[in-house]
Amino acid sequence: MNLFDSQRKDSSLPPFTVEYRNENAADQLAQHLAQRFLLKPYHDEIVILCIGTDRSTGDALGPLVGSKLKSRTHHLLHVYGTLEEPVHAMNLSEKLDEIRRTHPQALLIAIDACLGQFSNVGNINVADGPLKPGAGVKKDLPSVGTFHITGIVNVGGFMEYFVLQNTRLYVVMRMADIIASALFQAAVLHSGDPQRLGTASPE
């Protein structure tokens, strides 16, 4: 089965949105992700591809999520893209080739920051199909993901590079906390060992 097949039927749920200021955002997102995990073939691995760079505050959402997950999930999730080893425009194709070789039957979840309308800033979105990274800043990069998670970190439509550089770090950090916590919770529940929820969580 093709890792990037947007027609794959194991994640056929409606789009999901939660605002980062919602005090129950992590739990609500975790419940939605757990439903998606239940729809995949059990033998499939789960790969999290966190796209972005710490050279830009707004674009650091992906690497922040990756770093928070990397040290906590162990065998539950395979994480690519961290603050130490980011996945970005320059190495995305190379990293996708590595994932294809190492995890050929994986459920691939792509995570990235994006820009949007003012009223939607702070929303965390989950949707079926591949993510088109770099579209907001006019980059032509490979589409990736069985489904994807995006965080709207700032307003789009003009001077995108400048906007990403001048995004509030607090907003990006809070969104990263929520996404990482939700993925961890969903992975633990899917593993059948819910006791682990009380022993560790992404920080």
Rounded-to-integer distance, Cα 96 and Cα 77, Å: 16
Q: What percent of the chain has pLDDT over 90?
A: 65
Residue at 58 is within a domain = yes
Residue at 114 is within a domain = yes
Residue at 3 is within a domain = no
Mean pLDDT (the chain) is 87
Rounded-to-integer distance, Cα 37 and Cα 34, Å: 5
Helix (H) or strand (E) holding 126, with range, is: strand 123-128
Q: Does position 125 have pLDDT exceeding 70, yes or no?
A: yes
More confident residue, 179 or 195: 179
Contact partners, residue 99, CB within 8 Å, separation at least 6: 3, 47, 49, 80, 106, 108
**What pLDDT score was predicted for residue 100?**
94
Residue 98 belongs to domain spanning = 16-194
Rounded-to-integer distance, Cα 112 and Cα 74, Å: 22
Residue at 82 is within a domain = yes
Residue at 200 is within a domain = no
Are 111 and 150 a contacting pair, CB within 8 Å? yes
Residue at 10 is within a domain = no
* CATH code of the domain in which 120 resides: 3.40.50.1450
**What pLDDT score was predicted for residue 202?**
58
Residue at 11 is within a domain = no
Give residue-wise pLDDT tens across range 126-155.
999 999 886 555 567 888 999 999 999 999
Identify the DSSP state of 144: B
Q: How many structural domains is the chain composed of?
A: 1
Mean pLDDT (whole number) for 74-80: 87
Q: CA torsion sign, 5 to 92 to 17 to 68?
A: positive
Helix (H) or strand (E) holding 128, with range, is: strand 123-128
Give residue-wise pLDDT tens across range 44-57.
789 999 999 999 99
Structure tokens at 22: 């919602």
Residue at 28 is within a domain = yes
Helix (H) or strand (E) holding 95, with range, is: helix 92-102
